[in-house]
Amino acid sequence: MLDELRTLEERALTDLAAARDESAVEAWRVAYLGRKGRLTLILRSLGNLPAEERRQVGAAGNRLRETLEAALEEKRRALQAARLAAVAQRPLDVTLPGRPVPFGRLHPITQTLRDILGAFSAMGFEIVEGPEVETDYYNFEALRIPRDHPARDLWDTLWVDLGGDGERSILLRTHTSPDQVRIMERLQPPIRVVVPGKTYRHEATDATHEWMFHQVEGLAVDQGITLADLKGTLEEFARRLFGQERQVRLVQSYYPFVEPGVDLAVDCWICRGNPDPECRVCRGSGWLELLGAGMVHPEVLRNVRYDTERYTGFAFGMGVERIALARYGIDDIRHFYADDVRFLSQFR
């Protein structure tokens, strides 16, 4: 067995010296030192030898492995040095253009979110954030949506069972409105804040629905705030985001935590007053609904111990993906999260 090891060493070093490139060196490593290499197979057969011979052959085999590994490393260094030397001998053409450096870019949802927040920051709103894992109280109860309220059917809630007893009290927030209450519990008016963040619903995904999406919640509370202040704020936001020539429309709607509630729509910037059934943005209606809003319900204010005879406020909430779909004329929300670089590289 010792003679076999000496023969193996001579052959291995000869084959390594004959290797001319890295692929040949790697093939040599696999042939001699790999999991099924020649030296490895010899060392695995030591158990069949007598104890005294096993010690001698084992020691010789380990020394041979160290020798071959050192020779392998030396060969790799020699090949690298030869490669660098060959490059250094080539003439350098300084007139050649430099290699293009690829630049990353912000995701279209991130771009849209930053533009939304920038519009409200310019109007004096502060940006705050809240937890994504919420309690039933903040997500529903404090917003006038008790357990038996039919409005809960509007949200396909993802509940978190912490105790294993089936008690539902912790959930992934279904909207960013819970932060209205959290902010008002901490602060006294005047308040002007916008709250961006992810929200979650147990949705069947399709062209217009995702199980995770982004929202921006807005809240303003002070003395003498009226629906006219809400309209002016949202009108300025729509024009900052979609163009100064935009017209806005408020339509009565229902939301449990505001009274009255409204939906904001802007006129289609593609149709421009002449609704087109083929329009990819408004689908022929001439208007595009952007968000829901309204005056904060007095009961919500009383829940945080605000004097409803003194303070009023407005709130609004919008889906960032919905804004991005309209802004870029995209027809499927799933494109945003498919990780298709061909799609994402269009947005700068």
Q: Residue 317: which region, alpha, beta or left (left: phi > 0; alpha: psi -120 to 50)?
A: beta
pLDDT at 220: 97
Rounded-to-integer distance, Cα 87 and Cα 297, Å: 74
Pair 236, 243: CB distance under 8 Å: no
Ranking 107-116, 131-140, 182-191, 204-213 by mean pLDDT, the lowest is 204-213
**pLDDT single digits (tens) 42-72:** 888 877 878 778 788 888 888 888 999 999 9
Cis check for the bond before 275: say yes or no (omega within 30 of 0): no
Is there a catalytic annotation at residue 71?
A: no
Rounded-to-integer distance, Cα 344 and Cα 348, Å: 9
Cis check for the bond before 190: say yes or no (omega within 30 of 0): yes
The count of residues in the chain is 348
pLDDT surpassing 90 at residue 91 = no
Which one of the listed residues 201, 214, 297, 322 is annotated catalytic?
A: 201
Is there a catalytic annotation at residue 315?
A: yes
Which one of the listed residues 193, 215, 216, 324 is annotated catalytic?
A: 215
Ranking 125-129, 164-168, 188-192, 231-235 by mean pLDDT, the lowest is 164-168
What residues contact 313, with CB distance under 8 A and at least 6 apart?
189, 191, 219, 220, 221, 222, 225, 295, 296, 301
pLDDT surpassing 80 at residue 257 = yes
Rounded-to-integer distance, Cα 126 and Cα 195, Å: 9
pLDDT surpassing 60 at residue 119 = yes
Rounded-to-integer distance, Cα 228 and Cα 233, Å: 9
**pLDDT single digits (tens) 270-282:** 776 677 777 766 7
pLDDT at 163: 63
* Residue 295 host element (H or E): strand 287-296
Is there a catalytic annotation at residue 335?
A: no
- In the three-class reduction of DSSP (H, G, I as helix; E, B as strand; rest coil), residue 30 is classed as helix
Which one of the listed residues 142, 258, 265, 300 is annotated catalytic?
A: 258
Which one of the listed residues 315, 320, 324, 326 is annotated catalytic?
A: 315
pLDDT at 287: 85
Is there a catalytic annotation at residue 269?
A: no
**pLDDT single digits (tens) 134-177:** 999 999 999 988 888 777 776 788 888 776 555 568 899 999 99
Read off the amino acid at residue 322.
R
What does the CA dihedral 183, 185, 187, 189 come to, rounded to 10 degrees? Answer: 90
**pLDDT single digits (tens) 280-328:** 667 777 888 889 999 999 999 999 999 999 999 999 999 999 899 888 8
Is there a catalytic annotation at residue 155?
A: yes
Q: Which residue has the higher pLDDT, 347 or 167?
A: 347
pLDDT at 46: 78
pTM over 0.75: no
pLDDT at 278: 73
Ranking 17-31, 143-157, 182-196, 253-267 by mean pLDDT, the lowest is 143-157
Q: Which residue has the higher pLDDT, 340 or 118?
A: 118
* Residue 143 host element (H or E): none
pLDDT at 164: 57
Q: Which residue has the higher pLDDT, 96 or 132?
A: 132
Rounded to 5°, angle at Cα 52 from 48 and 54: 40
Is there a catalytic annotation at residue 202?
A: no
Which one of the listed residues 12, 57, 173, 175 is annotated catalytic?
A: 175
Helices (H) then strands (E): counts for the chain: 11, 10
Pair 221, 188: CB distance under 8 Å: no
Average pLDDT of the chain, as a whole number: 88
What's the pLDDT band for 126 if we cut at 50, 70, 90? very high
Ranking 212-216, 225-229, 266-270 by mean pLDDT, the lowest is 266-270
How far does the chain reach from its first CA to its final CA, in angstroms?
68
Which one of the listed residues 28, 57, 155, 265 is annotated catalytic?
A: 155
pLDDT surpassing 70 at residue 16 = yes
User: CA neighbours within 13 Å on the CB side: how many for 17?
Assistant: 6
Pair 296, 314: CB distance under 8 Å: yes
Rounded-to-integer distance, Cα 315 and Cα 194, Å: 9
Cis check for the bond before 100: say yes or no (omega within 30 of 0): no
